[in-house]
Structure 1
Amino acid sequence: MSSTPEPRLQHPRTARIGDIEQRLLLDAIYYRYHYDFRGYAQASLKRRLQTALSRFGCQTLSQLQDKVLHDASVFPPLLEYLTVQVSEMFRDPRYFKALREQVIPILRTYPSLKVWVAGCSTGEEVYSLAILLHEEGLLERTILYATDINQQALQAAEAGVFDLARVASFTENHVRSGGKTSLSDYYSAAYGRVVFDRALRKQVVFSDHSLATDTVFAEVHLVSCRNVLIYFERELQNRALGLFREALCHRGFLGLGSKESMRFTEQAPAFDDFVLEDRIYRKKVGA
């Protein structure tokens, strides 16, 4: 008979207390700072909060909640753990190639354009779209709204400064996306960093906006919200998609991330598949 001990299972009471602490912490953040993470994927948040505990010298989420409520300086760095700031320029090049070849010809028929990059993080997607629009001769008649809930990320996006070591992958993605110019035409390099041309930022409005609590602020022709919905629970996904449907003009376009889909959502009936393999959808007539 084997003498291997059976694995120890986590006591259900311990698991329940942890879940309660997490819900109370998210409630505290919402009521104290008006940031709503209660509809985010809880398993993902749990992993990030566990990492944050040591950063703030806490043993439990209850201790972290006490600091969040009574020390306003704790929340800004905690926000870095609660939001995912992972992106790169021309990420998933096929998406940008599909925009260039199938969406841009339709957008070109409008005298002016508005584009909403929701959850813009540190700006990689904003600059990618700005470069694409410049190459297609549309940037000067386009306003890009770049929104995120993380103020520090927005400041980084507006600065347009990235590590030089990342530029090789940016450049490869740009080429694969059908880029018509050299990416180096758009930045200057010094001291291990690159700074993107101010002319690209001239057409961008950077603003704080929450898909969990805020409303629509403009009518737009294209919404690009990629790799954001995967961090939301179903109810918040439906809310965000509802905002996009409301913001889009007649027959406007919506682009999602490669692991995201309109399928099985409340808003699916309002959209047609346009380039399904690259997660580009088009608002239906009358939707």
Structure 2
Amino acid sequence: MRNAENENIEIKLLKEAIFLKYGYDFRNYAEASIKRRILNFLAEANLDSVSELQHRLLYDQTLFKKLLVNLSVNVTEMFRDPTFYHAVREKLVPELRQLPFFKIWHAGCSTGMEVYSMAILLHEEGLIDRARIYATDFDELVLKKAKDGIFPLELAREYTVNYQRAGGNQSFSDYYTARYNHAIINSSLRRNIVFADHNLAVDGVFGEMNVIFCRNVLIYFNKELQNRVFRLFLESLTERGFLCLGSKESIRYSAYSDAFADVAPKEKIYRKTGHPDPEAHQETF
């Protein structure tokens, strides 16, 4: 029978070992979520303890890559939360029309379904050729999947419903080619997308973006890491740039709340207004 106190210590040491050995920082992820994923992996790998897992990981990079897949959050779908995309069309698109060129960053893009959803929206609004879309994640396997632009064909019906509810005005099937049991996103939607490695927990500013999407990622971080990421986004946005979060996330009550104004509060869309008092937030880094 496992001792919960000792197990928590082992998990803390495991996260430290992963950071020192491989450079991936899970130390400020929400404890309950990361613990559940580690214990699930123990069962899958038929290991008796977290300490045994730590020892194996230090000498087995293949095992670490398998663990990394389990620790990564890869829940995504096309046009997830359709009302959010209505808000994007209503609030963001008119602002983007005023720009000859703009940059969008999807931080923590997972397998890219949200990235391609935005590319479709921009295509329908006649803005795709003005856009450069950056899609980043720290997991090289999910980045490859995102770059390939492939999804299971069995999800096409669900994605079609989401697309229609999100205000799509074409046939969703026009945007992919069916091949056996999977679908491939059209290359015309991929040409303005750049996929790159970036870890929100340890990496720095990522260009000057007009819009940043980071939806359903921050819920897995603790408050300290959330504040680090909010500061990173603040410094990565252009003046009056937009920040889009997930339905269960908010910049309110964070150290950087004063630096953003509400644009569509229900859909968690904010706009940069400036920088908060730096004296109050020195602990962030």
Query: TM-score, normalised to structure 1's length?
Result: 0.94
Aligned partners of 1:190 and 1:42: how far apart in 2? 41
Which of 232, 238, 263 in structure 1 is aligned with 2:227? 238
Which of 262, 265, 284 in structure 2 is aligned with 1:273? 262
Partner of 2:101: 112
After TM superposition, the runs of 4+ consecutive aligned structure 1 residues lying more than 4 A away are none
Partner of 1:250: 239
Q: Secondary structure at the match of 1:188?
A: strand
Which of 247, 253, 257 in structure 2 is aligned with 1:264? 253
Aligned partners of 1:183 and 1:33: how far apart in 2? 41
Aligned partners of 1:173 and 1:26: how far apart in 2? 37
Residue 181 of structure 1 and its aligned partner are, at CA, apart by: 1.3
Partner of 1:36: 25
Aligned partners of 1:199 and 1:286: how far apart in 2? 38
Question: Structure 2: which amino acid aligns with 1:209?
Answer: H
Aligned partners of 1:141 and 1:101: how far apart in 2? 18
Contact 1:90 1:177 in 2 (8 A): yes
Q: Percent identity?
A: 49
Which of 86, 90, 104 in structure 1 is aligned with 2:75? 86
Residue 54 of structure 1 and its aligned partner are, at CA, apart by: 2.1
Name structure 1 gaps, 5 residues minimum.
1-9
Partner of 2:207: 218
Aligned partners of 1:48 and 1:62: how far apart in 2? 15
How do residues 1-287 of structure 1 correspond to structure 2 at under 5 angstroms?
A: 14-285=3-274
Aligned partners of 1:286 and 1:150: how far apart in 2? 31
Question: Structure 2: which amino acid aligns with 1:219?
Answer: E
The structure with the largest alpha-carbon Rg is 1
Aligned partners of 2:62 and 2:266: how far apart in 1? 44
Q: Secondary structure at the match of 2:33?
A: helix
Aligned partners of 2:53 and 2:143: how far apart in 1? 25
Residue 285 of structure 1 and its aligned partner are, at CA, apart by: 4.5
Count of aligned positions: 276
Query: C-alpha root-mean-square deviation of aligned residues, in Å?
Result: 1.2
Name structure 2 gaps, 5 residues minimum.
277-285
Aligned partners of 1:212 and 1:286: how far apart in 2? 21
Query: TM-score, normalised to structure 2's length?
Result: 0.95
Residue 280 of structure 1 and its aligned partner are, at CA, apart by: 0.3
Q: Secondary structure at the match of 1:195?
A: strand
